């Protein structure tokens, strides 16, 4: 039986890298992706191939360059001759206060969070269908509860949620489409004050940050959950069920 293949965008570091390693340990072959983080991506590639020879590959691409996405999809399929799982993990995230929003912000945030996942799904759907594959989109609890000063990002994630549910209908029954909505897993790369961190933790019933492995575990579940499609799984320590909180 052929080994299943997972393609994870933005998998050089943070949650993407953890997910790649987790699925690799579960027996998947992995197609890694990065844009700028080539050094860390190559290090992870070497680590995975050292664990299991010829089990990982790497593609380098700007996901916001829509004209290159079809070629990228071809590279992904050609890496191992098949694709079973597409994880749309790559995501730009930063504040865009009203009055300071630019076209570049719009193109970057929608390009990485909506445009690339949509067109990668379109280009990879025929190959995914052959093996009854799955698309897993990394959404956000802020798709439902917008984050102050992050209007464009929150809009983009809301669009990704709608896309997830729409594609689940359109691609059924051959391809399942689901989403994972992380809560506070890792602090943003942009610095937060200790007061900001304490405020976030007060909003979480579990009273702690999650771990990247929590997201990877949810993604692994969705890889094999044959009767689950069109769903968004929140992995947030209960934050999304709190009826009211400040953001």
List beta partners, residue 176: 134
Contact 138, 88 (CB under 8 A): yes
Asked if 221 is an active-site residue, the reply is no
| Integer CA distances (angstroms), 66 to 3, 108, 111, in order | 30, 11, 8
Catalytic residue among 94, 153, 221, 227: 153
Handedness of CA 228, 156, 166, 135 (dihedral sign): negative
Rounded Cα–Cα distance for residues 75 and 21 (Å): 21
Q: What is the CA radius of gyration of the chain?
A: 17
Rounded Cα–Cα distance for residues 101 and 243 (Å): 30
Task: Look up residue 69 and give its two tokens.
Answer: 């996405």
The set of long-range contacts for 26-29, using a CB threshold of 8 Å and a minimum separation of 24, is: 26/220, 27/3, 28/3, 28/4, 28/84, 28/85, 28/223, 29/3, 29/4, 29/5, 29/55, 29/56, 29/57, 29/80
Q: Cite the active site residues.
A: 153
């Amino acid at each position: 039986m052929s080994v299943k293949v997972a393609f994870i965008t933005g998998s050089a570091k943070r949650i993407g890298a953890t997910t790649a390693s987790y699925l690799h340990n579960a027996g998947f072959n992995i197609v890694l992706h990065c844009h700028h983080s080539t050094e860390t991506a190559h290090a992870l590639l070497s680590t995975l191939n050292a664990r299991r020879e010829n089990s990982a590959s790497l593609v380098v691409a700007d996901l916001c360059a829509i004209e290159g996405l079809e070629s990228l999809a071809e590279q992904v399929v050609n890496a191992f001759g098949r694709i079973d799982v597409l994880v749309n993990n790559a995501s730009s995230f930063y504040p865009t206060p009203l009055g300071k929003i630019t076209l570049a912000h719009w193109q970057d945030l929608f390009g990485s969070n909506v445009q690339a996942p949509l067109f990668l799904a379109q280009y990879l759907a025929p190959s995914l269908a052959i093996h009854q594959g799955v698309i897993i989109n990394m959404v956000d609890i802020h798709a439902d509860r917008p984050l102050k000063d992050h209007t464009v990002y929150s809009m983009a994630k809301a669009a990704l949620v709608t896309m997830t549910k729409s594609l689940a209908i359109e691609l059924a029954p051959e391809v399942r489409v689901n989403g994972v909505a992380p809560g506070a897993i890792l602090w943003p790369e942009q610095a937060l004050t200790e007061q900001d961190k304490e405020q976030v933790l007060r909003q979480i019933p579990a009273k702690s940050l999650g771990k990247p492995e929590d997201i990877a575990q949810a993604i692994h579940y969705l890889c094999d959950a044959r009767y689950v499609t069109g769903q968004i799984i929140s992995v947030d320590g209960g934050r999304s069920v709190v009826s009211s909180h400040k953001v």
